[in-house]
């Protein structure tokens, strides 16, 4: 196969050289409301990988990123908490172009982890409004209106691909709290500045 970024022959979807150049985790943290959000990368350095969700071959990229970054991070986290198990909830895992990029992140980040359990399709937006490129004001005026259909009284981590203002994750967090879901934090691939069109 060829590297998604530079088109050189590569065993992995992103070759070792491109990983060294573009995929050095920064671990960006921010707080929105009462929710801590942790992102692996600055959006601008990983834009081509994040935007791969818009093409069918993006499945391979998101699978690679989940296994390379999300899975080890969650494994280390759950080994150091006083919890029998923690659930990993993907934000609005809608299938588009044959797959859901968030479902891939959720699935492969928990695949070999006995303490972290993926909950798929339990947190869905009723309002399908697109936030890409929209202002904070627009996002606040057009909430996603999430519904949660998963177990209550659990510990959880929320997963999404990108955070800009944090509005989507904060809305999801509020809904989960109503169901006594104790959200430890949200984990995203990339952090973008407000107004960035992704």
Q: Is residue 87 in some structural domain? A: yes
pLDDT bin (cut points 50, 70, 90) of residue 5 is very high
Alpha helix (H) residue ranges in the chain:
16-22, 43-50, 58-65, 71-79, 101-110, 136-141, 167-178
Q: Is residue 62 in some structural domain? A: yes
DSSP H/E element including 25: none
For residue 127, what pLDDT is reported?
A: 77
Locate tokens 């350095």: which residue?
45
Q: What's the domain range around 154?
A: 25-191
Q: Is residue 79 in some structural domain? A: yes
pLDDT digit string (tens) for 13-63? 999 999 999 999 999 999 999 999 999 999 998 999 999 999 988 999 999
Q: Is residue 54 in some structural domain? A: yes
Q: Is residue 20 in some structural domain? A: no
Token pair for residue 35?
Answer: 């929710």
For residue 198, what pLDDT is reported?
A: 41
Comparing CA positions, the residue from 147, 197, 169, 191 lying closest to residue 39 is 191
CATH of the domain at 62: 3.40.50
Comparing CA positions, the residue from 175, 153, 159 lying closest to residue 116 is 159
Q: What residues contact residue 67 under an 8 Å CB cut-off, 6+ apart? A: 108, 109, 111
91: left (phi over 0), alpha (psi -120 to 50) or beta: beta
Number of domain units in the chain? 1
pLDDT over 60 (residue 135):
yes
């Amino acid at each position: 196969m060829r590297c998604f970024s530079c088109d050189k022959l590569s065993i992995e979807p992103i070759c070792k050289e491109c990983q060294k150049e573009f995929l050095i985790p920064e671990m960006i943290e921010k707080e929105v409301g009462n929710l801590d959000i942790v992102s692996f990368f600055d959006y601008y350095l990983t834009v081509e990988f994040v935007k791969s969700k818009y093409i069918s071959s993006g499945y391979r990229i998101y699978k690679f990123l989940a296994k390379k970054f999300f899975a080890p991070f969650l494994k280390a986290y759950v080994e150091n908490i006083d919890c029998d198990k923690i659930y990993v909830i993907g934000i609005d895992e809608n299938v588009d172009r044959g797959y859901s990029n968030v479902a891939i992140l959720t699935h492969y980040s928990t695949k070999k982890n006995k303490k972290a359990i993926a909950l798929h399709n339990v947190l869905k937006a009723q309002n399908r409004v697109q936030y890409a490129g929209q202002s904070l004001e627009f996002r606040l005026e057009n909430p996603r209106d999430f519904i949660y259909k998963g177990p209550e009284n659990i510990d959880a981590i929320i997963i999404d691909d990108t955070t800009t203002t944090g509005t989507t994750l904060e809305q999801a967090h509020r809904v989960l709290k109503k169901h006594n879901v104790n959200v430890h934090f949200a984990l995203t691939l990339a952090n973008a500045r407000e107004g960035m069109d992704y």
